[in-house]
Amino acid sequence: MLHQADGLPLPERRRAYVAIAAATIMSVLDGTIANTALPAIARELGVTPAASVWIVNGFQLALTASLFAWSSFGQLRGLARAWRYGVAIFTVGSLLCALAHQLPLLVAARMLQGIGAASIMAIGPALLRMVFPRDKLGRAIGVNALVIAIGIAAGPTIGGAILAIAPWPWLFLVNVPIGIAIAWIARGILPAEPHGGAALDLPSIASSAVGFSGIIFGIDGYARGEPLGFALLEFGVGAASFAWFIHRQQHLERPMFAVDLFARPLFALSASTSFLSFTAWGLAFISLPFLFQLQFGATPLVSGLLMTSWPLTMGLLAPISGRLSDRYPAALLTTVGLVVFATGLVLYALLPAHPSTLEIVAHGALCGLGCGIFQSPNSRELMASAPQAHSGSAAAILAAARVGGQTTGAALVAVIFAAFAASFAGGHVASTAVRAAVTVTLWAGAGFALTAALASITRFRFPRLAPAHGSHG
């Protein structure tokens, strides 16, 4: 039987991690792999480019809306069982994507994929806590951050490579044998936990889904030029629904979302700094391609390559930072990482009119260095500061902070670009306006990163979490 602090024996631990990591990278890849195929899919299905964007949005929407439902299911029915169901749903959704030849069917299949991916992302970090000994948790989370960074960086490239030799359905069909292999590797290895027979709270599931969906619809509607009043109405309905969801959790015997976790200062601090850092990430990652292509004249392919130094450097540093977090205070590592990240964003904002490729790549690598130093210790502290019984909720909050921060960053880019919209009108004026708009977003991103750094400094007030043993419940 698995002991809380001991994890699995080494051979089983390796096999379990291969399955968890493979499922994670598969779900992360599918968040971006379809981006490069949207023009081809739109042509083949006879739909507009704007309509084809829902192939991406549907996946993201379903993923976000079902995160807390999966964490609740995992706590009630077992984390390993919830994760296996997620892998199965994702695999079936991938097969249906490959077989869909009408846009509504493809979007529906992508949403099914997103529901499965939500389980993988919400439950995966909690499984790492069960699989690895406590003194190796930071290392495991660091390697997991490497896997995610590789998925983010490689998605468009792998998508382009598949499209070069096969039609677009193969973007999704390749997941089917991978999903089957993951299920085979994980069979009988992931630790089974005792679980109760309580029923899922359907009002909580519905209100959280409506909350996330309404907020995303409102943000997306504003970005697409919907009337401001209608976009605000969508956002308001989502915010009200999510507020009611949070209120309901405080009165349930077995809440779907463990609100009381935020009464733990280190947990609340880790969640908030994660949200702020991913907001900065979203601001930069969405705005920089506009700068590279419209100001510097780079092609979409070159623009993507210029961005690659960021996630790759982050991925390389994350395992190292994860190992360090098992030995050194998270307060030091997270604060240094956020300051380095903010410095990279400031240097991006100060790029000259005709920068060298080396300058652009170096600034991206500096951002990746900062993110890599910060993410693993912060994620380790968030997971380790939650009681074992609430690991599922903690993992879902970790995923929600990432997705929510990226979505907030995207919304702020839309707001800032809208302020410069009157100047986006051709020729040199448009180029100048794009540069000004992107510069504002980058300074805003640096502000979010520095705010997170100032918050992270306060970790020094708290005793360091023990690197080994102890339940911290």
pTM: 0.73
Q: Which domains does the chain have, with CATH numbers?
A: 1-190 (1.20.1250.20), 258-464 (1.20.1250.20)
Residue 367: C-alpha distances to residues 221, 303, 339 (Å): 30, 16, 10
pLDDT single digits (tens) 28-49: 888 767 766 766 787 788 876 5
Short-list 344, 350, 369, CA closest to 450: 344
Average the pLDDT over 149-156 and give the result.
69
b/e 69-92 (16+ beta carbons within 10 angstroms → b):
bbbbbbbbbbbbbbbbbbbbbbbb
DSSP 157-212: HHHHHHHHHS-TTHHHHTHHHHHHHHHHHHTTTSPP-----PPP-HHHHHHHHHHH
| % the chain with pLDDT above 70 | 84
Structure confidence at residue 431 (pLDDT):
65
CA–CA dist 317, 333 (Å, integer): 12
pLDDT single digits (tens) 45-102: 887 655 776 787 788 778 878 888 887 788 777 888 889 999 999 999 999 999 998 9
469 vs 16 pLDDT, higher one: 16
Structure confidence at residue 473 (pLDDT):
31
Structure confidence at residue 425 (pLDDT):
46
Structure confidence at residue 257 (pLDDT):
73
Structure confidence at residue 370 (pLDDT):
94
Structure confidence at residue 472 (pLDDT):
34
130 has a pLDDT exceeding 50: yes
CA–CA dist 333, 340 (Å, integer): 11
234 vs 228 pLDDT, higher one: 234
pLDDT single digits (tens) 187-208: 877 766 655 556 778 888 888 8
Structure confidence at residue 246 (pLDDT):
87
Instruction: Collect all residues with Cβ–Cβ distance below 8 Å to 285 and sequence separation of at least 6.
Output: 307, 310, 406, 409
